[in-house]
Structure 1
């Protein structure tokens, strides 16, 4: 079990929950409505979250730099912090209570990662995450790993890794309707939001690749589809 993963996740959740309760208290004083306000965003949807990490001895491989898989682990913290600060995670929690279903969730549905520069032992780095797009099923995120600016006082900043990923909504309401990003956004008070009309070129390509890549495995366990 990755104990440190759970400890860091709990610390992020605890900090965000404290901010959420303070925001709820402020909003409930200002809003006079018969329907209680259950969740509010701490930050707007275009907010860019920031978390800091360090390459520890347990993170390295035989080349003495951070193992490829650790980038995915660290990226989790960036996405989780952003879903906390924008209120998406709390909207999921309230939906579970309302629909009386623990199956409602946001799960990682796809990821595209590009390695640019290795992160060495003991080096610290910053992860910046932003929500770039959403459609009828998923939220799309962009993430960048940058070497700690205090450690490497250089311009332009040293980018180590870039990631595109999508968190897909799963579950359904008691009426049988599938959960969608727009439902969660409406729960956060964004009543007039729609699916963005335009998406950046790299998000568009990412979505197309996700749909096109469907490998087929035969009975012998061999991949037989053409890439």
Structure 2
């Protein structure tokens, strides 16, 4: 330690702390995290011989709120929720739809069509949380995913900080939409009365979320000269 110049310590320690507390914001950090996740999921899918997890199974990912995740209100920034959900969507696509994701000859790709987030509790700096994701419902075009951001209280009880819904559309390279049920069947999922009952019950909620698309035909125009 005595051989290290004081100037180097004065610069190195703050820089080191900055890097440690802002790892997720460094250049290519998001890409690297996605690559490691994909690598693990692809290996798992191959080991399972592309057999999918049960249709309504829940995938869970552990996270922590670091300094580069928070805003001036000293809790996790609203924009971070959607960014974190990217990893959950990747995860569930490769566990519930491994055949479509891993067999390129199908030429089917899942695309995010929007996210709705409903905040309930704040996620504080350095606190741990997990994101749980599962299939919620679908129609002839859209597949809805249901998400929960879950924290643990001082009494070791789980508390939901945020509910979210993602809608996914499956497209061929030509741009043609593939119905989610067709994609699920292609991946080996079997439908029975219990599956249809759950899908239909959840669609009562999902259909209301889908009504938000009507904002595209808003009858009240925006002023062209708005500041």
TM-score computed with the length of structure 2 as normaliser = 0.74
1:135 maps onto 2:139 in alignment: yes
How far, CA to CA, are the matches of 2:176 and 2:190 in structure 1? 18
Contact 2:130 2:149 in 1 (8 A): yes
Structure 1 position 193, deviation (Å): 6.8
Report how many residues are paired: 195
Q: CA 1:177 to 1:145, structure 2 compared with 1: closer, same or farther past 3 Å?
A: closer
Structure 1 position 111, deviation (Å): 1.7
Match of 2:92 in 1: 82
- Runs (5+) with no aligned partner, structure 2: 1-25
Structure 1 position 192, deviation (Å): 5.2
Match of 2:54 in 1: 44
Structure 1 position 126, deviation (Å): 0.8
Q: CA 1:133 to 1:9, structure 2 compared with 1: closer, same or farther past 3 Å?
A: same
Contact 1:92 1:184 in 2 (8 A): no
Which of these two proteins has the greater Rg computed from alpha carbons? 2
Matches within 5 A, 1:83-98: 83-86=93-96, 88=97, 90-94=99-103, 97-98=104-105
Q: Report the RMSD for the aligned CA atoms in angstroms.
A: 2.7
- Runs (5+) with no aligned partner, structure 1: 25-38, 223-227
From 151, 154, 158, give the equivalent of 1:152: 154
Match of 1:4 in 2: 29
* Secondary structure, counterpart of 2:196 in structure 1: coil
The superposition leaves residues 88-129 of structure 1 with CA deviations (integer Å, 9 ceiling, x where unpaired) of: 2541442xx325x5xx42111122111111111111101111
The superposition leaves residues 126-185 of structure 1 with CA deviations (integer Å, 9 ceiling, x where unpaired) of: 1111101111112111111111x3x63343x22111101211112356xx9632212321
Contact 2:75 2:123 in 1 (8 A): yes
TM-score computed with the length of structure 1 as normaliser = 0.74
Detail structure 1 runs of 4+ shifted over 4 Å in the superposition.
Answer: 191-195, 215-219
Structure 1 position 4, deviation (Å): 2.3
How far, CA to CA, are the matches of 1:71 and 1:206 in structure 2? 18
